Amino acid sequence: MKIITGLKEIIDSFDTFILDQWGVLHNGGCAFEQAVEALEFLKQHNKKVVILSNSGRTAKFSYARLADSGIKRDLYLDVLTSGEHMLHNFNAGKFKHLGKNPLFFTWDDDTSMLERCGLTESKVENATFVFCCGVDRDDLADYVEDLQLARQRNLELVVSNPDLVAMKPDGSLKTCPGAIAKMYQEMGGTVHWHGKPQRDIYTMCRELVGGWGNAIAVGDSMEHDIAGANGAAISSLFISSGIHNGEINDKRSIERLSYQFSVQPSHCLDWFKV
């Protein structure tokens, strides 16, 4: 792993930059000023830029969020989300055996994914599977009873966002759907994961941008961004100011963290910047 001071040190080594969204470009609020400058720098050097996000929603939602944050649409080729990965699998018939009546978890009463997948929400006693697209309860403990009942019925769980946590604008962490899925898996339940670090989404990403010669994935999660890049056999740039920030104070701490998650970033940078 090489610690760098900015993209200028590696700009000539890669033709494609695969960027995480949360923790790299923004944390749910305004875009990081240095990140916008970095995107403009990549555009000036004619690099392919694609945003690969573990958002359980569609790319359309990400376009709006990025625009609201201050990131112009002409600074990146496209967005691919874990939600789009999941929709692809539903459309391909991968989950046909699960039926059409899930126990549904979502954000803020958003039923768009139910509608996109042609599903009807059901109570746990009548559900044919668990569909996890958000976290709207106060605590993970509030999901235990439903998950235990689902496990007793041997229901499978489909999750649209594998992240355990995400950073808020104030730097604190919020619980994400992956935490529910992980809890269910630890109960012995079957979980169908989407997004990073699944290899399929990198294949979809490569097709989306028309291929690449030498790509690098940029992200702040060892478990998702760096593991995904390692699995896809591409280079990676770890951003240390993201969700692992509280665990990092020097190069050795980054190496310990890499060992903990059994991954190896190619490069490390404190913020996504020129």
**DSSP readout, 137-193?**
SSSGGGGHHHHHHHHHTT--EEES---SEEE-TTS-EEE-HHHHHHHHHHTT--EE-
Q: Classify residue 270 by burial, with Cβ atoms within 10 Å: 0-12, 13-18, 19+.
A: middle
| CATH number of the domain residue 121 falls in | 3.40.50.1000
What does the mean pLDDT of the chain come to?
95
CA 69 to chain centre: 18
Reported as half-sphere exposure (CB side, CA atoms, 13 A), residue 171 has a value of: 3
The answer to whether residue 17 scores a pLDDT higher than 90 is yes
Q: Which of 166, 192, 218 is the last residue of a domain?
A: 192
Q: What is the pLDDT of residue 271?
A: 97
Which residues face 267 on adjacent strands?
Answer: 2, 237
Q: Which of 146, 168, 192 is the last residue of a domain?
A: 192
Which residue range is the domain that position 212 belongs to?
2-84+199-269
Beta carbons within 8 Å of 109's beta carbon, 6+ residues apart: 136
Q: What is the pLDDT of residue 171?
A: 74
Same domain, 125 and 61: no
Q: What is the pLDDT of residue 33?
A: 96
Judging by DSSP bridges, how do beta strands 235-239 and 215-219 pair with one another? parallel
37-76: pLDDT as tens digits: 999 999 999 999 999 999 999 999 999 999 999 999 999 9
Q: Binning pLDDT at 50, 70 and 90, where does residue 97 land?
A: very high
More confident residue, 273 or 166: 273
Q: Which of 135, 161, 192 is the last residue of a domain?
A: 192
Q: What is the pLDDT of residue 262?
A: 98
Same domain, 184 and 101: yes
Q: What is the pLDDT of residue 29?
A: 87
Q: What is the pLDDT of residue 268?
A: 97
Q: What is the pLDDT of residue 111?
A: 94
Same domain, 116 and 177: yes
Give a yes or no: residue 243 inside a domain.
yes
Q: What is the pLDDT of residue 173?
A: 79
Q: How confident is the model over 101-127, as a mean pLDDT? A: 95
Q: Phi then psi for 258, rounded to 5 degrees?
A: -60, -45
Give a yes or no: residue 89 inside a domain.
no
Q: Phi then psi for 114, rounded to 5 degrees?
A: -55, -50
Q: What is the pLDDT of residue 82?
A: 97
129-176: pLDDT as tens digits: 999 999 999 899 999 999 999 999 999 999 999 999 887 777 777 899
